[in-house]
Amino acid sequence: AREQKSELVARDLTVRFGGLTALNKASLRVKPGEVHALIGPNGAGKSTFVNTISGFYQPTEGAFELDGIQLAGKRSHEIARVGLSRTFQNTELFSDMSVLENVMVGYQQRLGYGLVSALLRTSDMRRQESECRRAAIGLLTFVGLEDYANEEARFLPFGLQRRLEIARALAARPRLLLLDEPAAGLTTQEIDELEVMIRRIAALGVSVLLIEHHVELIMAVADTVTVLDYGQVIASDTPSVVQDDPRVIEAYFGT
Ligand code: ADP
Ligand code: MG
C-alpha cells in the first residue's frame, strides 16, 4: 500500500466548445483512497471532465489539482507524470504488440523514454528493461492476464482487452486512476470481476474516478457518486443518498 493516498480537487471547471458549454462550473473532490463514481445522462459532460483533468482538453475556466499540485494548463504527459493515469471509453491498445509489451509501454511512459530510444540501448537501459519486464508481468498477474503475456493484444477477447488497458494504466504508477466506462460491453460475470479488481486497486492506495452507466456496479463499489447533468454537478453524496435524490431521478427520467 502507498504511504500517501491522493486527492483530486476540481473547482468550477468550465469547458466550452464554440457555443456549447460541455462543463459548467463543475466542482468535484475525489477524497484520498476513495472510489468516486461520476455519472449522468449521455452528453452530460463526463468524458469532457475526464479529458480535461487528464490534459487532453484545456478548461475554459476553473482549476484542478492533485495533492495540491496545480494541473490546469499542463499537458497530458506532464499530468501523467504527476500521477494521474486513465483508460479510454473506447479501448486504445497497441494492437500489434504483445500483451506484455502493451504494459511495458505504460512503464516506459513513466520512465520518460519511448520504444525508439530502446534501439540505442545501453547496459543501464537493458537492466531497466528487464526490471520493467518483471514489473509488467507482476501487473499482468494482478489483472489475471499472466497466461496471455505473449499473445498479440488484438487477439484477446474484448473483456480481456479491457483488463489489459487497466494493467497498462496501472503501469504508470498512478495515484489517481480514471476509468471511462470500463464495464461497457462486458458480460455480467466480467462486471463482477471488474468490481473485485476496482476494490483491489483502491486497496493498493490508488484513488479511483469511475465513469460508469452500470448502476449495480456503482452501487457496489463507489464510496461517493457525483452526478452531472448538462455539464453541471447536480448531486454528490453516497450511492444510496444520490439514488433517492429527486433531481437525479428527474435528470434520468424527467422530460
Ligand atoms: P458524456 O461523456 O457525459 O456522454 P461528453 O463529455 O462526451 O458527454 O459530451 C458533452 C457535450 O460536449 C456533448 O454535447 C458533446 O457533443 C460535446 N463535446 C464533447 N467533446 C467535444 C469536442 N471535442 N468538440 C465539440 N463538442 C464536444
Ligand atoms: Mg462519455
Q: How many domains does the chain have?
A: 2
Q: Please name which ligand lies nearest the alpha carbon of 49.
A: 1
pLDDT for the residue 118 = 57
Do 180 and 165 lie in one domain? The reply is: no
Measured from the CA of 228, which atom of ligand 1 is nearest? 3
Overall average pLDDT of the 55-73 stretch? 96
Whether 159 is in the pocket of ligand 1, judged by its Cβ within 6 Å, is no
Write down the pTM of the prediction. 0.90
pLDDT for the residue 1 = 47
pLDDT at 190 over 70: yes
Whether 52 is in the pocket of ligand 1, judged by its Cβ within 6 Å, is no
Whether 62 is in the pocket of ligand 1, judged by its Cβ within 6 Å, is no
Do 39 and 53 lie in one domain? The reply is: yes
Do 105 and 163 lie in one domain? The reply is: yes
pLDDT at 255 over 80: no
CA of 59 to the centre of ligand 1 (A): 13
Do 192 and 153 lie in one domain? The reply is: no
Do 54 and 121 lie in one domain? The reply is: no
Which of 149, 172, 195 lies at the terminal end of a domain, its last residue?
Answer: 172
The protein residue with its alpha carbon nearest to ligand 1, atom 18, reads 22
The protein residue with its alpha carbon nearest to ligand 1, atom 7, reads 47
pLDDT at 62 over 50: yes
**CATH code: domain of residue 73:** 3.40.50.300
- Cα 222 to chain centroid distance, Å, stands at 14
Measured from the CA of 41, which atom of ligand 1 is nearest? 3
Do 162 and 185 lie in one domain? The reply is: no
pLDDT at 116 over 70: no
| pLDDT tens, position by position, 223-249 | 999 999 999 999 999 999 999 999 999
Is 89 inside a domain boundary?
A: no
pLDDT for the residue 252 = 85
Is 50 inside a domain boundary?
A: yes
Contact 142, 200 (CB under 8 A): yes
Is 160 inside a domain boundary?
A: yes
- The average confidence (pLDDT) of the chain is 90
| pLDDT tens, position by position, 73-106 | 999 989 998 999 998 767 678 888 999 999 998 7
Is 146 inside a domain boundary?
A: yes
pLDDT for the residue 57 = 96
Overall average pLDDT of the 24-36 stretch? 97
| pLDDT tens, position by position, 123-167 | 777 787 888 899 999 999 999 999 999 999 999 999 999 999 999
Do 99 and 153 lie in one domain? The reply is: yes
C-alpha cell at 29: 473532490
Whether 47 is in the pocket of ligand 1, judged by its Cβ within 6 Å, is yes
Whether 15 is in the pocket of ligand 1, judged by its Cβ within 6 Å, is no
Which of 123, 157, 172 lies at the terminal end of a domain, its last residue?
Answer: 172
Do 162 and 189 lie in one domain? The reply is: no
Do 12 and 55 lie in one domain? The reply is: yes
Measured from the CA of 23, which atom of ligand 1 is nearest? 10
Could you tell me the residue range of the domain that residue 239 belongs to? Answer: 1-83+174-255
Is 35 inside a domain boundary?
A: yes
Ligand 2 ion: residues within 5 Å (CB): 46-47
Overall average pLDDT of the 18-44 stretch? 96
Is 88 inside a domain boundary?
A: no
% of the chain surpassing 70 pLDDT: 92
Is 214 inside a domain boundary?
A: yes
pLDDT for the residue 187 = 96
pLDDT for the residue 128 = 79
Q: Please name which ligand lies nearest the alpha carbon of 43.
A: 1
pLDDT for the residue 4 = 74
Angle at 110 between CA 23 and CA 166, to 5 degrees: 60
CA of 225 to the centre of ligand 2 (A): 16
Which of 124, 146, 172 lies at the terminal end of a domain, its last residue?
Answer: 172
Is 167 inside a domain boundary?
A: yes
pLDDT for the residue 28 = 97
Contact 62, 12 (CB under 8 A): yes
| pLDDT tens, position by position, 41-61 | 999 999 999 999 999 999 999
Q: What is the DSSP string of the chain?
A: --SS---EEEEEEEEEETTEEEEEEEEEEE-TT-EEEEE-STTSSHHHHHHHHTTSS--SEEEEEETTEE-TT--HHHHHHHTEEE--SS----TTSBHHHHHHHHHHHHHT--TGGGGG--HHHHHHHHHHHHHHHHHHHHTT-GGGTTSBGGGS-HHHHHHHHHHHHHHT--SEEEEESTTTT--HHHHHHHHHHHHHHHHTT-EEEEE---HHHHHHH-SEEEEEETTEEEEEE-HHHHHT-HHHHHHHH--
